[in-house]
Amino acid sequence: MEEIKIYVAQKLKEALNEKYNLELSYEEIFSMLESPKDKANGDIAFPCFRFAKDLHLSPNVIALEIKEELSAEDKIEKIQVIGAYINFYVSSGKITDDILGKIIEKGQEYGSTNIGNMRNVLIDYSSPNIAKPFHLGHLRTTIIGRALYNLYKELGYTPVGINYLGDWGRQFGLVIEGYKRFKDEYELEKDPLHSLSDMYARANNLAKDDEKVMDLARENFKKLEEGDEECLNLWKYFRDTSLKEYYRIYDLMGCKFDVYTGESEFSVSERTNEVIDMLNEKGVLTESQGAKVVNLSENEPPCIIIKSNESTTYALRDLASILWRARNYDYVKSIYVTSYEQIHHFNQIFRVAKYVVDEKYIEGLVHVPYGMVRLKTGKMSTREGTVIYLQDLIDDAIKKSMKILEEKNTDVEDKEKLAKQIGIGALVFNDLKHNKIKDVVFDLNEVLRFDGETGPYVQYMYARISSILKKASFDKNNIKDSSYEYNDVETEVIKLLGKLPNVIKEAAENYEPSILTRYIIDVASAFSTFYNSNTVLSEDENEKIARLKLVYGAGVVIKKGLNILGIETPEKM
């Protein structure tokens, strides 16, 4: 399909130059081409809205006049104007051969491009607060960030996954105070993060009723920033203990990061001092109620850079981090995946960052907010009764998956591995099929269904494809030529497979993995319709070869899509 789009773009370039003397580049025209959602509107559409102002003509008239310069030939069966769009209907035979040929040639490289030209895209995601166990909210940032990482990699960028730990700030004064007061009441070696989290909660509750406790917590954090040995050693213990547990969770979920850093690296240091100097030199750092701030506008609070007690702020540390990232990575994009609760924070620091880094780096700053996540029951059984811990959810999903496999009498060698693939895959898929800004509700019974728009359904469809290809001893490197005209159902499946490169690009550019997830659902559903209405291993050799090509193509696309989302594809279920 990509080759046909190139052909259409070249023809449009010639027509626009001939009719209106518009010297548009081929790349500009190619980027304007769209894939109509309604198949009645063809396979490729070219919108003419952008020319209306310069040409002083309506978009419909422009579309009609450009069409007169075009002719349906070779690859194009029909050209039709619908409103402001010129719609191209591609010859079915040509499109199916083109798409399947490309998939067979490239295999799992199908859909990859080099748009990014190896330029750096930084993706800041997961980023938990240390001294606390992973809760369900961390699932969204982790899997959305990983999907964006993989999408940009497919586009030829060099993605850099950054886990920016929340390992600094006033709360660690409270953690230290809680540890000092209550450590002897806990079995820290047995359950360190839940213990530390509970100590923090108890210290925080005390501080609400007793200002002296809060004063001690503030003093602890001040000592930490000044390098006090006792406080620093406790903080290092909290950090190391937390990372050990986080690594285990990441390994379970198949997540890896290129860089582990944290707020602590951008606290009181040359890095933050340099930012403060820059803001002073620009004359934007002012005093307000003892604090140092940057005023943004009359109608909103200022961005606080240094607190009245001279402690650094989250905003200052983020600004120092932006400067460090610009210098070390020369990024074209620096993406932050956090909850929508931080929209205001990132809006502020991105605006203040113009005083710290060059304009090109400001343009590359992106905040990708996401909605909340909860269970249908509202909460799981935990020590506090209010937090849903990720480990509990994963364990429950794997346990339920195992029960389903046993009920189905699934014949596989490693049932535990399969239950893990299904359980974790189901959680990830359910999250990523929703628009990221929407709140997500987990109902494990629904999430683990083997029918409907679920991860297990798509995994099962891939396993079925693998079984067909194995039974047919299909070898993509040893395919005989065949003469076969695909029927309408088959053609629609193949056209859908041809959309993968555009879907990957669209999902990345919109920072929206659900675009890819919904597409994978469509492919699995279309394949199921094909499979239920056609005999793949036909007695007719030409028919069998042609259909096996389609089956192989569907398998490549489903596997590729799931892998980008971070979901494993079992060969047998």
**DSSP states of 531-573:** HHHS-SS-SSHHHHHHHHHHHHHHHHHHHHHHHHHT----S--
For tokens 């728009």, what's the residue?
453
**Is residue 331 a contact partner of residue 258, using CB atoms and an 8 Å limit?**
no
CA distances from 247 to 161, 251, 257 (A): 15, 6, 10
Structure tokens at 197: 């989290």
| Neighbouring residues of 106: CB distance < 8 A, sequence distance ≥ 6 | 112
pLDDT at 383: 36
- Report the candidate in 245, 221, 224 with the shortest Cα–Cα distance to residue 233: 224
Cβ atoms 535, 470 nearer than 8 A: no
Strand order in the sheet with 85-90: 44-47, 85-90, 76-82
Residue 135: is it exposed, middle or buried by C-beta count within 10 angstroms (0-12/13-18/19+)?
A: buried
User: Hey, what long-range contacts does 440-446 have (CB within 8 A, 24 or more apart)?
Assistant: 440/140, 440/371, 440/372, 440/373, 440/374, 441/373, 441/374, 441/375, 441/376, 442/136, 442/373, 442/374, 442/375, 442/376, 442/393, 443/375, 443/376, 444/375, 444/396, 444/397, 444/400, 445/400
pLDDT in the model for residue 379: 46
Per-residue pLDDT of the chain (573 residues; tens, 9 = 90+): 777 888 899 999 999 998 998 888 888 999 899 988 888 899 899 999 999 999 999 999 999 999 999 988 777 889 999 999 999 998 888 888 889 999 999 999 999 999 999 999 999 999 999 999 998 878 999 999 999 999 999 999 999 999 999 999 889 999 999 999 999 999 998 999 999 999 999 999 999 999 999 999 999 998 998 899 999 999 999 999 999 999 999 999 999 999 999 999 988 778 999 999 999 999 999 999 999 999 998 888 999 999 888 888 999 999 999 999 999 999 999 999 999 999 999 999 999 999 999 999 999 999 999 998 776 765 443 334 456 788 988 999 999 999 999 998 878 889 999 999 999 999 999 999 999 998 887 788 899 999 889 999 999 999 999 999 999 999 998 887 778 899 999 999 999 999 999 999 999 999 999 999 999 999 999 999 999 999 999 999 999 999 999 999 999 999 999 999 999 999 998
Residue where the block lists tokens 């990372």? 243
**Degrees to nearest 5, angle at CA 425 with 419 and 197:** 95
Q: What does the block give as tokens for 320?
A: 């120092």
Query: In this structure, are strands 291-294 and 303-306 parallel, antiparallel, or unpaired?
Result: antiparallel
Neighbours of 356 (CB within 10 A): 19
Residue with tokens 């960028």: 157
Beta bridge mates, 79 = 88
Region of 560 please: left (phi>0), alpha (psi -120 to 50) or beta. Answer: alpha
Domains and CATH numbers, the chain: 2-90 (3.30.1360.70), 120-370 (3.40.50.620), 402-565 (1.10.730.10)
Question: Which residues, other chains included, contact 520 with Cβ-Cβ below 8 Å and sequence gap of 6+?
Answer: 458, 557, 558, 561, 562, 565
Residue 14 CA to residue 21 CA, distance in Å, equals 9
